[in-house]
């Protein structure tokens, strides 16, 4: 096949190589220039994973011919190490949990940079519309949008001369090349990677959900539904008195904390840790109970400010007396999870994880019933679904090999 020699400036380095007329820019970047930060996804110009800058403007490298870029400038994700906007975006992407598997991230960051550069007054609706050409199967986009909005807000409060210079170049039609941006001649900031960040304060911040959303209901057919039950060697009256004592019940559930309770309304939070990701759902709940039937329903909502994930849950429990000293607790749970953490509700092992959680919860309930003074000594631990999932897998493998050895 015929080839032609092209010369392209890639990340401020001149590259001259032979290409075929049908060689796409994405393949040229990855296979010939060996810059593998550009990811190829659909290869039809739909998903946006392969987005790079061509003369300062985002293009799909999977449907752009390399030969058509002869004499032009390309910037890939590797070329933003000293870019003042990209350094801000990388930091905010980490803070807002805006990446999961990371496959779409190079293209997502490149498009995000263009949004911040070109649309300094963009609102959330505009940001979402601009991102519509970049697909992500992990995050739910909430964290990505939050990261971009945070950068835009920060630049309004604290203008950056280098960013202003880039925006001026865009308006003048020059594409905003980084090498033209420095207004001081000083060396630009060094590369900022994706380091896990934790909040610097543990102080409780009042959640806007605490005022109005305690009575939020999950509509029939919505959410994930799980049913469990467990038996306790105590009378139904004893168990019921504990189950309506929400502060003590919260002590039995890893990660749960009750801050205050007024009547049938309770404010608190549930802390969850997914590997390096940490979330604290701060919110409020309402307890509706029927003492004669020994049944109750706890309905609540919570918001994690850092990841902007939102949870709505409804837990109904009924006390059944099996004998004078044996009681069965039936638990029906329905929950919805929206935002970056929603991916963790999709696993096929979620129900088994909840069974493990209910089992630990039952043990703690029994301990308090046996020794009420032990309620204050129960350790407060974050939920670690990932660790429990690993234990579930280990137990399954152990069971599999045990059955084969018999």
End-of-domain residue from the set 77, 100, 122:
77
HEC readout, the chain: CCCEEEEEEECCEEEEEEECCCCEHHHHHHHHCCCCCCCCCCCCCCCCCCEEEECCEEEECCCCEHHHHCCCEEECHHHHCCCHHHHHHHHHHHHCCCCCCCCCHHHHHHHHHHHHHHCCCCCHHHHHHHHHHCCCCCCCCHHHHHHHHHHHHHHHHCCCHHHHHHHHHHHCCCCCCHHHCCCCCCCCCCCCCCCCCCCCCCCCCCCCHHHHCCCCCCCCCCCEEEEEEEEECCCHHHHHHHHCCHHHHHHHCCCEEEEEEECCEEEEEEEEEECCEEEEEEEEEEEEEECCCCEEEEEEEEEECCCCEEEEEEEEEEEEEEECCEEEEEEEEEEEEECHHHHHHCCCCHHHHHHHHHHHHHHHHHHHHHCHHHHHHCCCCCECHHHHHHHHHHHHHHHHHHHHHC
Quick check: 113 and 100 in contact, CB under 8 A? no
Q: Is residue 194 part of a domain?
A: no
pLDDT recorded at residue 201: 39
- Say whether both 143 and 238 belong to one domain: no
**Are 152 and 139 contained in the same domain?**
yes
Q: Report the relative pairing of strands 224-232 and 73-75 from DSSP bridges.
A: unpaired
Residues 226 and 371 in one domain: yes
Q: How many domains, the chain?
A: 3
At 67, which CATH number?
A: 3.10.20.30
Residue 317 lies in a domain: yes
The residue from 77, 109, 136 where one domain ends is: 77
**Could you tell me if residue 193 is inside a domain?**
no
Q: Note whether 162 and 176 are same-domain residues.
A: yes
Judge contact between 310 and 303, C-beta under 8 A: yes
How far, in Å, CA of 341 to CA of 343, rounded?
5
Q: 0.95 cut: is pTM over it? A: no
pLDDT for position 199: 42
Asked if 254 and 400 sit in the same domain, the reply is yes
Domain identity same for 101 and 57: no
Q: What is the pLDDT of residue 204?
A: 37
pLDDT at residue 260 in the model? 80
Regarding whether 314 and 299 lie in a shared domain, the answer is: yes
Q: Is residue 65 part of a domain?
A: yes
Residue after which a domain boundary falls, among 159, 180, 201 = 180
Say what the pLDDT of residue 261 is: 76
Domain annotation covers residue 140: yes
Instruction: Return the pLDDT at 223.
Output: 62
Q: With respect to residue 367, please indicate whether it lies within any of the assigned structural domains.
A: yes
- Which pLDDT does position 197 carry in this prediction? 47
Residue 201 lies in a domain: no
Which residue carries 């950056």 as its tokens? 160
Q: Which domain holds residue 86?
A: 81-180
How much is the pLDDT for 253? Answer: 72
The enclosing domain of 265 has a CATH number of 3.30.530.20
CA-based end-to-end distance of the chain: 62
Contact 143, 97 (CB under 8 A): yes
Per-block mean pLDDT, blocks of 10 residues, the chain (406 long): 90 93 94 95 92 94 94 95 94 92 95 95 93 91 94 94 90 60 38 45 36 45 72 90 79 74 79 64 84 87 77 84 91 74 53 68 84 68 50 52 53
List, in sequence order, every residue forming a beta bridge with 302; answer none if it has no partner: 283, 311
Tell me, yes or no, whether 227 and 265 share the same domain: yes
Domain identity same for 27 and 113: no
Residue 64 lies in a domain: yes
């Amino acid at each position: 096949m015929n080839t032609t020699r092209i010369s392209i400036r890639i990340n401020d380095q001149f590259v001259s190589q032979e290409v075929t007329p049908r060689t796409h820019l994405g393949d040229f970047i990855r296979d010939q220039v060996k810059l593998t930060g550009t990811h190829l996804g659909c290869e039809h110009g739909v998903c946006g994973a392969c987005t790079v800058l061509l003369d300062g403007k985002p293009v799909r490298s999977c449907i752009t011919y390399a030969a058509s870029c002869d004499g032009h400038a390309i910037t890939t994700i590797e070329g933003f190490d000293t870019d003042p906007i990209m350094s801000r975006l990388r930091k905010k992407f980490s803070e807002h949990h805006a990446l999961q598997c990371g496959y779409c991230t190079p293209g997502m960051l490149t498009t995000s940079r263009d949004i911040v550069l070109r649309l300094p007054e963009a609102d959330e609706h505009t940001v979402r519309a601009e991102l519509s050409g970049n697909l992500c199967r992990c995050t739910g986009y909430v964290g990505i949008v939050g990261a971009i909005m945070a950068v835009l807000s920060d630049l309004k409060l604290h203008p950056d001369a280098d960013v202003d210079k880039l925006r001026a170049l865009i308006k003048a039609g020059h594409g905003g090349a980084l090498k033209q941006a420095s207004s001081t001649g000083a060396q630009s900031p060094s590369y900022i990677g994706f380091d896990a960040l934790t909040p610097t304060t543990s102080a409780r911040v009042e959640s806007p959900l605490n005022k109005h959303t305690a009575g939020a209901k999950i509509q029939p057919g919505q959410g994930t539904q799980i049913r469990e039950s467990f038996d306790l060697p105590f009378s139904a009256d004893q168990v019921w008195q504990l189950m309506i004592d929400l502060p003590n019940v919260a002590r039995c559930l890893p990660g749960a904390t009750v801050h205050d309770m007024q009547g049938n309304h309770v404010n608190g939070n549930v802390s969850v840790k997914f590997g390096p990701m940490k979330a604290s759902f701060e919110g409020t709940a309402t307890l509706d109970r029927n003492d004669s039937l020994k049944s109750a329903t706890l309905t609540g909502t919570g918001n994690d400010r850092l990841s902007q994930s939102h949870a709505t849950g409804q837990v109904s429990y009924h006390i059944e007396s099996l004998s004078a000293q044996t009681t069965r607790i039936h638990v029906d749970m329905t929950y919805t999870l929206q935002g970056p953490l929603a991916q963790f509700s999709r696993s096929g092992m979620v129900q088994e994880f909840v069974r493990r959680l209910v089992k630990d919860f039952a043990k703690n309930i029994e301990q308090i019933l046996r020794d009420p003074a032990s309620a204050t000594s129960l350790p407060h631990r974050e939920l670690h679904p990932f660790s429990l999932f690993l234990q579930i897998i280990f137990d399954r493998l152990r069971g599999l090999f045990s059955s084969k050895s018999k």
